[in-house]
Amino acid sequence: MKSIDLVQHLLLRSGTAWVLWVLGALSVASLGIIIERWLFLRARDCEPRALARSIRAHLIRRNFAAAAEELGKTKSVAAAVAAAGLQLADLGPDAVEKSMQSAVAIERGLLERWLAYLGTVGNNAPFIGLFGTVIGIIGAFSELGHGAAGQVPSTGPAAQLASQAVMTSIAEALVATAVGIFVALPAVAAFNYFQRRIASLLLGIDALANLVIAYVADARTGQTDAFEKRLSP
């Protein structure tokens, strides 16, 4: 048996049903991740102005421990990063900045968790569906070839039945591509949405972190007031 005949035999024997099962499993996993990520990012979201107001009195009095304790009452990303910096306020602004940079790296990893899976599914699900379609079309043309080898009449009821069988097989094969696209679209949309949400959260981190560094560094009054004005309503 030629190698191409062996590959064709294996593909036809496997069929297209397993492709649909794989796409179904990917779709269920994607849906679970989308729900989990949405709930997680919602819980870690915050309003930088509100956080700044909640710790402003402590920062003015240079009571950084109390400010860190106040930030610990919320689960927001910006609060976690600012609190990590305030815990090292006694070591100076450089230590505070490094501590917050480390906290940002940790938080970014948590925020971007599972996003690579959504991106991979969005990019490859259509190709998985197309692979199933190719298998189905190979089967359809194989049936057509067997019919020609059996000298099916080119006209009459027998020819019509053979043609209908081939067209039905091709139509069924195209379902795999449609399912692949259906699985990919929500994954791509969710991936892009979560990327924008994460970017928004990181901007909030920068605003609050700069305010904390300004106070810890005992910056000039004008600089501190400028940060407060940016975070004030």
- Residues 6 or more apart in contact with residue 28 via CB below 8 angstroms: none
pLDDT in tens, 189-214: 999 999 999 998 888 888 888 888 88
Dihedral angle of Cα 210, 216, 219, 224, to the nearest 10 degrees: 50
Q: How far apart are CA 19 and CA 17, in angstroms?
A: 5
Q: How far apart are CA 58 and CA 23, in angstroms?
A: 54
Angle at Cα 65 formed by Cα 63 and Cα 67, nearest 5°? 70
Query: Domain locations in the chain?
Result: 16-123+189-231
Q: Residues of the chain whose pLDDT is less than 50? A: 152, 158, 219-224, 227, 233
Give DSSP secondary structure letters for 51-88.
HHHHHHHHHHTT-HHHHHHHHTTS--HHHHHHHHHHTT
